[in-house]
Amino acid sequence: MKEHRIGRVLSGSIAQEMDIEAGDILLAINGQGIEDIFDYQYLIQDEYIEALVRKPSGEEWLLEIDKEYDEDLGVEFENGLMDDYRSCQNRCIFCFIDQMPKGMRESLYFKDDDSRLSFLQGNYVTLTNLSDYDMERIIRYRLSPINISFQTTDPALRCMMLHNRFAGEALKKADRLYENGIEMNGQIVLCRGVNDGEALERSIKDLTAYIPVLKSVSVVPVGLSRYREGLYPLEPFDREDAKAVLHRIHGWQERLYAAYGFHFVHASDEWYLLAQEELPEASRYDGYLQLENGVGMLRLLEEEFEEAFEALKGKGIRRERTISAATGLLAYPYIREMAERLMGEVSGLRILVYPVRNDFFGERITVSGLLTGGDIRSQLMGRELGEELLLPQNVLRSGEDVFLDDMKLGGLSQALQVPINIVKSSGHDFVRKCLGEEAPGGSKERL
């Protein structure tokens, strides 16, 4: 029987009323062992439950609890998943974790392939790690959406790309999810000369058979770092390649929109910048279902900026302040343009925008989410930074103040001798931070 240590008891909760405390161990609900958070949430739904808890003294309490249906007990566990994370058994030719240098913190080398994290955090899974028991639990608990890394629908090619002889057969699990109405989103990491061209055409065509249960599919270019010695010889896409990819995707979008009223397959922002083409209008993104994959992120940023900008136009706002902002090469032209427009509208405001080249992973990596503190420090050292430096939120690990290279935010602030203000992924927040205004609620993320 698994044991689950309670890390926190919420004030005013049922658990507090029952004298459950942090450090107690939850052993069972209604006589059943608990595998993970989904078992727990399923078992506590009833209006009457019996919870078996062991106190630090070793004494076991069987608590009889009357409550509202679906009411939570009010506990948080030390392990939020209530189970070990499942690691990936594939050796994908495009895996970015294999392209990282040695000596980084251990957690950065962990490859997850856990369907539960797909539901909880939006992670993408390959289906190769799902047992029949896992499939049954997904269907029973209605865990959706499940985000799937398809890469290709050609079974033999998928086996090669994932370096797993079961990867082609695993595609059949998508059939079962479809048949049981489990919503899905998909992604295709495109590798030049491998799964592009006619292989991409086949993949899109095959995946349309899962509409409407499969809500969207994103196509993203493979990320290539400078640490690829001994790995599969992948080459970067060029402008003509990107134009060909977009032409194919746009053709499918037109046909699918006419048939279903949505576009289904989407190209990530990198393709448009590489092809030097305009970003699609907001309506083409079908509600931004694939933001975490960089699909429509720049368009949404512009859209939100326009809303915030229109709200301050013509008000004669003045701000006597000079600030700086740094971002990756991908977003730099957009951030610079927004800053210029703000300076044109707000008298006295100076915004210095700096692009940061990714020397750590290599210049082919242009997204801000993979910038390191070391690159920001070396490229901004000695530059005019004003009274504070704005950095995008995604340069930091979620909920922490540390960069990929383990540099702390406070250490960067000290090295550059400037306070650092973190900007959320929102055009509204960018405008607020540039004007020196606090976010709603009065909070200000600043060092």
Alpha helices, DSSP H only, in 402-444? 409-416, 427-435
Q: What angle do CA 294, 356, 423 make, to 5 degrees?
A: 60
Q: Determine whether 42 is exposed, middle or buried from the number of CB atoms within 10 Å of its CB (0-12, 13-18, 19+).
A: middle
CA distance 134 to 83: 14
Residue at 100: amino acid letter? M
87 part of a folded domain? no
Q: Determine whether 347 is exposed, middle or buried from the number of CB atoms within 10 Å of its CB (0-12, 13-18, 19+).
A: exposed
- Looking at the fold, whether 353 and 215 belong to one and the same domain comes out as no
Using the CB atoms, write b or e for 131-156: b if 16+ within 10 Å: eeebbebbbeeebbbbbbbbbbbbee
The domain total for the chain is 3
Three-state SS for 295? coil
Q: If you average pLDDT over every residue of the chain, what do you get? A: 90
Domain interval for residue 217: 97-292
Say if CB 274 and CB 242 are below 8 A apart: yes
Q: What is the CATH number of the domain that holds 190?
A: 3.80.30.10
316 part of a folded domain? yes
63 part of a folded domain? yes
233 part of a folded domain? yes
Cα Rg for the chain, rounded, in angstroms?
Answer: 25
Token pair recorded at residue 398: 């979620």
Q: Of 262, 292, 322, which residue is a domain's last? A: 292
Q: Give the pLDDT confidence of 37-81 residue by residue, as tens digits.
A: 878 888 888 899 999 999 999 999 999 999 998 788 999 988 876
Q: Would you mind telling me the total number of residues written for the chain in this entry?
A: 447
What pLDDT is attached to residue 150?
96
pLDDT class of 439 with cuts at 50, 70, 90? low
Mean pLDDT of 139-156: 91
146 part of a folded domain? yes
183 part of a folded domain? yes
Query: Which string of DSSP letters, residue by residue, matches 307-323?
Result: HHHHHHTTS--EEEEEE
Q: For residue 214, is pLDDT > 80?
A: yes
Residue at 228: amino acid letter? R
- Looking at the fold, whether 101 and 69 belong to one and the same domain comes out as no
- Looking at the fold, whether 235 and 256 belong to one and the same domain comes out as yes
CA distance 26 to 2: 9
CA distance 143 to 153: 23
- Looking at the fold, whether 220 and 280 belong to one and the same domain comes out as yes
Token pair recorded at residue 334: 């957009």
Closest C-alpha to 270, from 242, 247, 249, 248: 242
Query: Which string of DSSP letters, residue by residue, matches 201-250?
Result: HHHHHHHGGGTTTEEEEEEEEPP--S--TTS-------HHHHHHHHHHHH
- Looking at the fold, whether 152 and 279 belong to one and the same domain comes out as yes
- Looking at the fold, whether 320 and 177 belong to one and the same domain comes out as no
- Looking at the fold, whether 311 and 172 belong to one and the same domain comes out as no
pTM: 0.81
- Looking at the fold, whether 152 and 283 belong to one and the same domain comes out as yes
Q: Of 49, 77, 105, which residue is a domain's last? A: 77
- Looking at the fold, whether 14 and 61 belong to one and the same domain comes out as yes
* Helix, strand, coil share (%) of the chain residues, nearest 5: 35, 20, 45
Q: Of 48, 77, 106, which residue is a domain's last? A: 77
Query: Which string of DSSP letters, residue by residue, matches 100-128?
Result: SPTTS-GGGG--B--HHHHHHH--EE-ST
Q: Give the pLDDT confidence of 85-142 residue by residue, as tens digits.
A: 666 778 899 988 888 888 776 666 556 655 555 555 557 888 888 888 888 888 988 8
272 part of a folded domain? yes
Three-state SS for 77? strand
- Looking at the fold, whether 262 and 117 belong to one and the same domain comes out as yes
- Looking at the fold, whether 59 and 112 belong to one and the same domain comes out as no
- Looking at the fold, whether 326 and 205 belong to one and the same domain comes out as no
402 part of a folded domain? yes
